[in-house]
Amino acid sequence: MDARNTQAFDACLREALAQTREWVPRWLGKLHATLKDREQSAGQLSEKQALVQARTTLESHRDLVATRFLAAFAESMENALPHTGSGSRRSPTVSFDELELMGDDQVQETVELARVQQVVKMAVDEELVTLTARLNGAQGLAVVNPDANPLRTEVVVGALMKALKGLHVEAAVRARWLQVGAISLGDELRGMYAHLSQQLDRMGVQAAGYVVTQTATSRTSAPTAGSRSDAVPMNEVLGGDALLTLDHLHQLLVGNLDQVGDAPGDWGASGSSTAMVRTLASEVVTLMLKRIAADERLLTPVRTLLQDMKPALLQLARSEPRFFADRQNPARRLLDAITERSLAFTNELDPGFGPFSNQVRGIVRTLLKPGPDLAERFPGLLEELTRSQAAAVAPAQVQARGLAVQTLVRVEQRNLLAERVAAEMRARNDFDKAPGVVRRFLTGPWSQVVAQARLEVSEGASVSPARSAAMRYSDILPDLLWSSQLSLASLNRPRLVKVIPGVLRTLREGLDAIDYPREQAEAFFQALMGLHEAAYKTQRNEPPPDEQPSIQPEVDDEPWMQRTEARDSCLMDDLPRDTQISTQPAFIDTQPMQRDWADLKAEMSGQHGATLPVGTWVDISQDGHAMRWQITWASPHGTLFLFTGASGRSLSMTKRGLERLIEQNRLRVVADHGVVDEALDEVTRQAWLNSARVDSL
């Protein structure tokens, strides 16, 4: 973003905080007035008492609510900026796995949040669209990314919820405030959004554009940035008349439906809960399969076959209604295995897809056979599928992968040890006085030499540590550092003549031990011998010439590999270190699960550097063609990654190499979660939306 837009963006955020300080007290006043009006018109005593309690509690907490809300909003606004790396990229709902771990009060809070967000969004929709486009334009975005608006309704409502939860008030009172104040909150936000849009317009900020994603050409599990609607409308995918609510789904998962009646519409009657459990389980299965059917990352034949499994899965839901929530259940594992393998194929003509689809077709036929033993069929089918997938990979590919993992583990161990060796060298008193070319050599190639020698000692070499190569490689440091300093070496030429042969011999021995490229080694030796020659030719009675301090380049923290290690680990070899970032995207037509580069890089700088978890499917552009790969292994410290293709072929790369691919738009994430996981998360999202609709009736 240019300086002018940066100023406009910052000014807009400052104005948003100023506006919030004005409208929050006004909104609290409206909330108090509305509570009082409803209190006076309440027909039932219990309702009147609840409103009185909410109003009087608000009176005593009014200033505290305003203070905490303003603080929470300022913090949430900063964290919501994509470049901070701390803002959530997910829909502001709860995931399927999280729901099972929640208590009833947490579920209710989530429903409250859903209702308030729905009411507020309906009130500010038009103004929010305009402001988002302006703010995105101020950030230099050509296409609208809704998540790049730090003032979006999710941020404001989330800050309000955070502020209210920090108060020592009853949950019922907090819920009453939200129910009564949602409409007026939307009104206040609508006014603020309109005011901020006008300010950006006056400052000359051009709005970013919205794009329309076509379902026919999109292969994505998430809305494309800048799209005004989902690629597949949620009401078409999950059904707008679904009965499932978040509370019902939660009770199903935790097995607490004792107070639910038999009839599908009898949510609160007492009696047996068996019928309701089956109804809810069947609905979850139906919605899950609808979501999978809309997931165009899977090829059409696979999606069709999975839909053909529906009768068997519905039948299973009658006897095991929570099978989809149990990751160890054979039926759930079979679904995971099929969808996981499906992601390996991008075309029906891909090698291996024909046998795979035929096997899935056979699985469906077996499951649809009538009989009371349906649940017993899944373990055998899963075992057969797993065995056939393993058999489809050539033994040579399996061996190559094992060798690659073994090599990468050793590479990371040596590089981590080399970092410690380099730190030891920098701590020496005579290190900083040496020329830059020598310092860089010591903390670079020579630290690798010493590290490998130490590893060999630790692995049980027969030579004692005192006589090991590691000790000899460290023992030459005083002579090397001294001989490279013109001001010192020129004062003692006899010593210089004596130490040079041994230093050079040991240096060559060490570099050969790690198969260091000879051309790079010779370049260093030429520089070192030039230093030695200058020291030898300098007369004692001549003052040593002033040495210009050398400027060390930025430390390259990319793991170094020997040529044999690069070969054995199947290292991707078309990533030159100085590659310029291309301005032309490698993926033009579709971009599954589009991720912002700044977000990915921020994630990749985490504690262990593992941003893309093991199991993630990606497309990598190589030689002008996109190939599908899965991350099947990551080193313990996240510096090296191993990818596997559908054929079993392996490919490795460093963390820096992975970052460069993303920078060059040569890598796109296809899926970093399981297809079934994402489908169940969408089921939970629909239940969340249903809860908001039911609660607002």
Q: Is the pLDDT of residue 416 over 80?
A: yes
φ/ψ (deg, to 5) at 423: -65, -40
Question: Which of 201-210, 654-663, 687-696 has the lowest average pLDDT?
Answer: 687-696
* Interval 97-111: pLDDT, tens: 888 888 877 787 777
Residue type at 182? A
Q: Which residues contact 390 (CB under 8 A, 6 or more apart)?
A: none
> Who's near 598: CB < 8 A, 6+ residues apart?
82, 83, 85
Greatest C-alpha distance within the chain:
109
* Predicted local confidence at residue 611, as pLDDT: 67
- What would the mean pLDDT of 114-137 be, rounded to a whole number? 89
Mean pLDDT, to the nearest integer, of 284-291? 94
Confidence of residue 2 (pLDDT cuts 50, 70, 90): low
State whether the Cα torsion 458-462-467-472 is positive or negative: negative
Q: What pLDDT, on a 0 to 100 scale, did the predictor assign at position 250?
A: 85
CA-wise closest residue to 435 among 486, 471, 388, 474: 486
Whether the per-residue pLDDT at 489 is higher than 60: the answer is yes
Residue 151: is its pLDDT beyond 70? Answer: yes
List C-alpha distances in Å: 597 to 84, 441, 690: 12, 33, 34
pLDDT score of 259:
46
In which region does residue 370 sit, left (phi positive, over 0), alpha (psi from -120 to 50) or beta (all else)?
A: beta
What pLDDT band is residue 276 in, cutting at 50, 70 and 90? confident
> How far is residue 365's CA from residue 305's CA, in Å, rounded to a whole number?
10
The three-class DSSP label of residue 246 is helix
The fraction of the chain above a pLDDT of 70, given in percent, is 80
Residues in the chain: 697
Mean pLDDT confidence for 181-190: 92
Which pLDDT value is given to residue 305? 96
List own/partner pairs for 468-473 with CB under 8 A and 24 or more apart. Answer: 469/509, 469/510, 469/513, 472/506, 473/446, 473/449, 473/506, 473/510
Residue 653, H or E segment:
strand 650-654
User: In the predicted model, what is the mean pLDDT of the chain?
Assistant: 81
Residue 1's pLDDT is: 53
- pLDDT at residue 592 in the model: 43
Percent of the chain with pLDDT over 90: 48
Contact between 231 and 224 (Cβ < 8 Å): yes
Mean pLDDT of 683-688: 86
Pairing of strands 667-671, 650-654: unpaired
List, for residues 435-462, the tens digit of each pLDDT value: 999 999 999 999 999 999 999 888 765 5
Give the other-Cβ count within 10 Å of 462's Cβ: 5
Cα gap 131→19, rounded to integer Å: 15
Residue 132 has pLDDT above 60, yes or no: yes
Q: CA–CA separation, 547 vs 437, rounded Å?
A: 13
- 423 vs 464, residue with greater confidence: 423
